[in-house]
Structure 1
Amino acid sequence: MARAVAAYYAAREPFGAGGDFTTAPEISQAFGECLGLWAAVTWEAMGRPDPVLLVELGPGRGTLMADALRAVAEVAPGFRAALRVHLVEASPRLRAAQAARIPDAQWHDGLASLPDGPALVLANEFLDAMPIRQFIRRGTGWTERYVAEGAFVERPAEDAPALPPDTPEGTVAEHSAAGLTLVRALARRCRDQGGAALLLDYGPAEAVLGESLQAMAVHGRAEVLAPAGTVDLTAHVLFAPLAAAAREAGAAVHGPLPMGLFLQRLGIMSLAALQARRAPQLARQILSGAERLVAPEAMGRLFKALCLCHPGLPVPQGFEPA
């Protein structure tokens, strides 16, 4: 799966109406603005460190970061002056698109090359593209499903994570070692150097069994076994094990909670209403885009927000107890 995902982003333009899927920053300008202002408030709670890293993982075309920077330049100029933009992106094609919007950014292939210091990390629909392993209950044990010569096959599960001992025949369990490794690294960085990481993605809040691996093309379902690089491979993010891993690594963890609730607490509908007043000819489009992000029947319930932060920070904005 990892090779197929890398090939896909290297060769295709996946985002927007002409691509294969649309992400939240492409749906509503208010999304990136909300996250930028969230970062500014969190920076204040951190004691206003200068400099501070503002990092995005998987920035797509740079839309989210550009919207965030525009908002903080207007509302929080002190934060804008203190921040240094760092983008974790492996695709040269996407780096070029990001550079057109954020020319002062610095690029990295992964977390390891980020400079030391307090950081605020944003990751929107990043974890769902990380590789997973699938295990299937067969008889009294588990097999692993993998791809060989263009077809799914099974073999005895080796080096498998802890799997439930008593489940029905054919039960599927998915496991993302890459996702857990990333979250542990973010948690340790928050613990040791200060800051917070905000992760937004789709998936269940609780631990569940079942198959979620899917392929997307032209805004619809596609064949998972299509040639590498021709479809977007994705799987639901299992937030419960990620939250547990972050706690074990020493970070404070808040959430997961529904993204719609999180964005409403940040005031996304008020931001969208302000934008609609400024551009009345686009008012319906602006308001419907924001509504799509918060409505439970759209993206508001399926998508979740999870925050990892330094244990000494107060509860981040949007994660306050009900």
Structure 2
Amino acid sequence: MNALAQEIAAMIAADGPISIERFMMLALQHPRYGYYRTKLPIGAAGDFITAPEIHQMFGELIGLWAVEVWHQMGEPTPFRLIELGPGRGTLMADMLRAARLRPAFLQAADIHLVEASEALMDVQRANLGGTPATWHPSIDALPEGPAIIIANEFFDALPIRQYVLTGEGLCERVVGLDANDALCFGLVLTSAPAATSAAHGAMLEVGAAAQAMTRDLAARLIAMPGALLAIDYGYMRPGSGDTLQALRHHQSDDPLRAPGEADLTAFVDFAALGRAATSEGAAVYGPIGQGKFLARLGIFERAASLKRKATPEQTAAIDAALARLARPGPQSGPNASMAELFKVLAIMSPDLPVPPGFDAIAGQDA
């Protein structure tokens, strides 16, 4: 049992079982032992790979998407270009490189990054190569003003709660201690109103933190023009089942085995995010599969252009990236396809046009 597990076990021994939500918060954000406080998680030497690290095409297309949305907004100067959970800074660097096609966009962009990890901030600064930017520990510190907000693999790391309807009634899944004082999962009766729709025996996950953050961001887009683009793995429509997972060295791990040493995530309920945004009056587009979204933005044309000047090795890398980012394929394993597993949702100020890559509102673009 590592140091954080011992601390959590002592907390449980003193006060009783804790929710999955509380456990995730401690495992990821504990000020001394939390995963995002101590690890460099992304890349071959880390625990997982994100789309921007697979190939530059991903970030370039998101950058061009942002340029077009800025044009739809009336090209405000200045505007806030915000990334939530910017990883290694690769996505923002690729976006800005593609945006050189519109120098006025770069001149107007006031860059803000929401990041809790000091170690990742250092990597982001290096990869941005001196580009002026401001870092914030949370969205609460973001300045007002027109904004384009990018959230790639951000919402999946926000904590969830889990519920099961049993013969004894509605139960919440919690973390407690077994007979040997080791961390274990258990169930406790609850009357949580958010989970009353759970089918008998099925596990229902509720991402209250993600929904609350979405409402806050949507409210911002009502007060000031802008857009939020969320890309993550999850459900297009409400689902059930246990999606809590731990990743360590690119392999699945027991979420309770070594808290703080593995990444913890859960599937994003995009339908719930959409409802949260529309409750504030924002316009919602999608969700749409990542493969379809990137195809509509022109990833296959971009790949063909790159391959015209590529070496055989570079061509093979481009084809491999296309297969993983945009072509349907296996959804598990080291080279799993992200095309259908990952979804894309746009939340917009209600007076803005349909954003690039979408053609319907409120989940009609499946």
TM-score, normalised via structure 1 length = 0.96
> Does residue 123 of the first structure (1) align with residue 123 of the second (2)?
no
- Quick check: 2:170–2:191 contact (8 Å CA) kept in 1? no
Shift of 1:279: 3.4
1:217 aligned to which of 248, 261, 276? 248
Report what 1:59 is aligned to: 86
Q: Deviations over 1:240-279 (max 9, x none)?
A: 1110110011100000011110010001122223233343
Question: RMSD of the alignment, in Å?
Answer: 1.4
Q: Secondary structure of 1:296's partner?
A: coil
- Quick check: 1:88–1:109 contact (8 Å CA) kept in 2? yes
Measure the CA separation in 2 of the matches of 1:105 and 1:22.
Answer: 24
Shift of 1:57: 0.3
Measure the CA separation in 2 of the matches of 1:15 and 1:279.
Answer: 26
Measure the CA separation in 2 of the matches of 1:203 and 1:239.
Answer: 7
Q: Secondary structure of 2:237's partner?
A: coil
Equivalent residue letter for 1:214: Q
> Does residue 290 of the first structure (1) align with residue 322 of the second (2)?
yes
TM-score, normalised via structure 2 length = 0.84
> Does residue 188 of the first structure (1) align with residue 219 of the second (2)?
yes
Gaps of 5+ in 2: 1-23, 178-182, 330-336
2:206 aligned to which of 169, 175, 192? 175
Shift of 1:212: 0.7
Shift of 1:162: 4.1
Report what 1:305 is aligned to: 344
Equivalent residue letter for 1:127: F
Measure the CA separation in 1 of the matches of 2:153 and 2:207.
Answer: 15
- Quick check: 1:276–1:284 contact (8 Å CA) kept in 2? no
Measure the CA separation in 2 of the matches of 1:126 and 1:182.
Answer: 11
- Quick check: 1:30–1:290 contact (8 Å CA) kept in 2? no
- Quick check: 2:195–2:204 contact (8 Å CA) kept in 1? no
Percent identity over paired residues? 45
Gaps of 5+ in 1: none
Q: Which has the larger radius of gyration?
A: 2
Question: More deviation in 268-277 or 296-305?
Answer: 268-277
Measure the CA separation in 2 of the matches of 1:320 and 1:26.
Answer: 28
Equivalent residue letter for 1:163: T
Q: Secondary structure of 2:292's partner?
A: helix
Matches within 5 A, 1:74-93: 75-93=101-119
Measure the CA separation in 1 of the matches of 2:44 and 2:99.
Answer: 28
Give the number of aligned pairs: 319
Report what 2:76 is aligned to: 49
Question: More deviation in 124-133 or 7-16?
Answer: 7-16
